[in-house]
Amino acid sequence: MLWFGNELLDFKLERKRLVERLINEGVLKTEKVIKAMLTIPREEFVLPEYRKYAYIDSPLPILKGQTISAPHMVALMCEVATLDVGHTVLEIGTGSGYHAAVIAEIVAPKKAVNKGHVYTIERIPELAEFARNNLEKTGYSDRVTVIVGDGTLGYPDAAPYDRIIVTAAAPQEPKPLLEQLKIGGKLIIPIGSRYMQYLYIVEKISERQFKRESVIPCVFVPLIGKYGW
* Positions in the binding site for ligand SAM (CB under 6 A): 66-69, 92-93, 95-96, 98-99, 121-124, 127, 150-152, 167-168, 220-221, 223-225, 228
Cα Rg, the chain, nearest whole Å: 17
**What is the rounded CA–CA span in Å between residue 115 and residue 35?**
17
Query: Reading across the β-sheet that carries 144-148, which strands appear in turn?
Result: 144-148, 117-122, 88-92, 161-166, 181-192, 197-204, 210-218
Would you please indicate which residues are annotated as catalytic (active-site) residues? 69
Handedness of CA 15, 17, 18, 19 (dihedral sign): positive
Rank residues 7 and 96 by Cβ distance to ligand SAM and give the closer one. Answer: 96
Handedness of CA 66, 70, 74, 79 (dihedral sign): negative
Rank residues 47 and 183 by Cβ distance to ligand SAM and give the closer one. Answer: 47
Shortest separation between residue 30's beta carbon and ligand SAM, angstroms: 19
Instruction: Please list, in sequence order, all residues whose beta carbon lies within 8 angstroms of the beta carbon of residue 211, skipping any fewer than 6 positions away.
Output: 202, 203, 205
Rank residues 58 and 183 by Cβ distance to ligand SAM and give the closer one. Answer: 58
Shortest separation between residue 225's beta carbon and ligand SAM, angstroms: 3
**What is the rounded CA–CA span in Å between residue 171 and residue 190?**
9
Shortest separation between residue 211's beta carbon and ligand SAM, angstroms: 25
**What is the rounded CA–CA span in Å between residue 20 and residue 55?**
12
Shortest separation between residue 78's beta carbon and ligand SAM, angstroms: 11
Rank residues 96 and 138 by Cβ distance to ligand SAM and give the closer one. Answer: 96
DSSP symbols for 167-208 = -SBBSS--HHHHHTEEEEEEEEEEEE-SS-EEEEEEEE-SSS
Shortest separation between residue 21's beta carbon and ligand SAM, angstroms: 19
**What is the rounded CA–CA span in Å between residue 147 and residue 158?**
12
CA angle 228, 203, 154 (to 5 degrees): 35
Helix or strand or coil: residue 123?
coil
Rank residues 116 and 225 by Cβ distance to ligand SAM and give the closer one. Answer: 225
